[in-house]
Amino acid sequence: MGKDNNPRRVADNEAMAKARMLRTSPQKLNLVAAMIRGKPVSKALTDLTFSKKRIAGDVRKCLQSAIANAENNHGLDVDELVVAEAWVGKNIVLKRGRPRARGRFGKIMKPFSELTIKVRQVEEQA
């Protein structure tokens, strides 16, 4: 006699994972997210593993979380998963500063981002 379950925010053949408070600018994070959009998850994981970008490790963790959600929570086949969407959003910005010459103050902005990855199961074309 409890509350009804919340409706799913994604389709039946999709799963999603979010990473919040990633310490990088959204512009830099979007470069890494664009690298994996539309790829099969095995290829995307390989690309992230060997990427030289610092934030690629956090993107890889988020992608692994989305894969685990698909497998454990929604019963999807891991071998048929594709990164359907990967989008980046802004989060808070820490405002710091440093004294500069002639009584001025240099602003130092430390932005945070959030990443959402959605994986979808597609049947392989033989």
Extents of the domains making up the chain: 14-121
Query: Strand 81-99 vs strand 105-121: parallel, antiparallel, or unpaired?
Result: antiparallel
What is the C-alpha R_g of the chain?
19
Residue 87 CB coordination number (10 Å): 13
pTM above 0.75, yes or no: yes
What element of type H or E holds 14?
A: strand 14-22
**112: Cα within 13 Å, side-chain hemisphere:** 10
- pLDDT for 125 equals 61
Strand order in the sheet with 81-99: 14-22, 105-121, 81-99
Q: Which residue is it, tokens 């932005």?
A: 111
Provide mean pLDDT across the span 51-76. 96
**Per-residue DSSP letter, 79:** G
Provide mean pLDDT across the span 45-63. 98
pLDDT over threshold 90, residue 124: no
* 14-121 CATH fold: Ribosomal Protein L22; Chain A (3.90.470)
pLDDT over threshold 60, residue 126: no
Residue 16 CB coordination number (10 Å): 19
